[in-house]
Amino acid sequence: MNLSLRQHAITLSLLVALMLQIMPMPILVDPYRPDWVLLVLAYWTLALPQRVNVGVAFLNGLVLDVLLGTALGVHSLALSLVIFILAANYQRLRNYSVWQQAFMVGLLAALYHLVIFWLQHLLTDIYFLFDYLWPVLTTMLFWPWCFAILRKIRRQLKVS
């Protein structure tokens, strides 16, 4: 049991993140939903860059595209790009304090949203609203807690 949990910890955490990403929410909180998939992917990329990097991000992006009904490839491109930046700099980022990391994750989330907006803008004519960037702030605020919980899981299950 413990062994199989250990093997599938990453997959399970990503599935939970995908579910949180599409879970119906009251209309008041909905615009502030953090990018759960990005948060979880970012943690695993920093912790285990050998196991989770661009490929996993690409696949998750595809699932996200199907779940959210965007054109296939939009989220996968944005996620691959952001996770590439993280994976290329993981040694530097690991040495930052959690709040510095949160700031960097926020910046990357902003890039993620802008890339998605830009691609969507190319495909359909949508206009930019500042509300689209609320998730950047919440993602930043959620990073320390996400980091703590996932680190606890990783250490307890000895995922490597």
Partner 1 sequence: MDTIFTRGPSLLSRLILACLLSVLLIILDARLDSFSRVRVYLNSLVSPLQYMANLPGEMLNQASSALTTQRQLLDRNAQLTRQNILMSERLQRFDLLRRENDKLRTLLGSPVRPDVRKMVAELMAVDNNPYSHQIMINKGTLQGVYEGQPVLDDRGIVGQVMQVGTTTSRVLLIADVTHGVPVRIMRNDVRLVASGSGTLNRLVINHVPHSTDIETGDILVTSGLGEVFPEGYPVGRITAVLRDESRPFAQVQAEPAAQLDRLKYLLLLWPADAPQQPVSEEEEDLEP
Instruction: Count the site residues for partner 1 by CB under 8 A.
Output: 52
Whole-angstrom distance, CA of residue 28 vs CA of residue 10:
31
AA letter at 55: G
107 counts as binding partner 1 under rule CB under 8 A: no
Q: Which of 2, 4, 50, 97 binds partner 1 (CB under 8 A)?
A: 50
12 counts as binding partner 1 under rule CB under 8 A: no
Whole-angstrom distance, CA of residue 141 vs CA of residue 156:
24
Select from 51-59, 92-100, 140-148, 150-158 the region that touches partner 1 (CB under 8 A). Answer: 51-59
67 counts as binding partner 1 under rule CB under 8 A: yes
How would DSSP label each residue in 70-130? PPTTHHHHHHHHHHHHHHHTHHHHHTS-HHHHHHHHHHHHHHHHHHHHHHHHHHS-----G
CB 154 within 8 Å of CB 47:
yes
User: Residues in the site for partner 1, rule: CB under 8 A?
Assistant: 15, 18-25, 27, 30-31, 33, 50-51, 53-55, 57-58, 61-63, 66-74, 76-77, 80-81, 84, 87-88, 116-117, 119-120, 123-127, 129, 131-132, 160
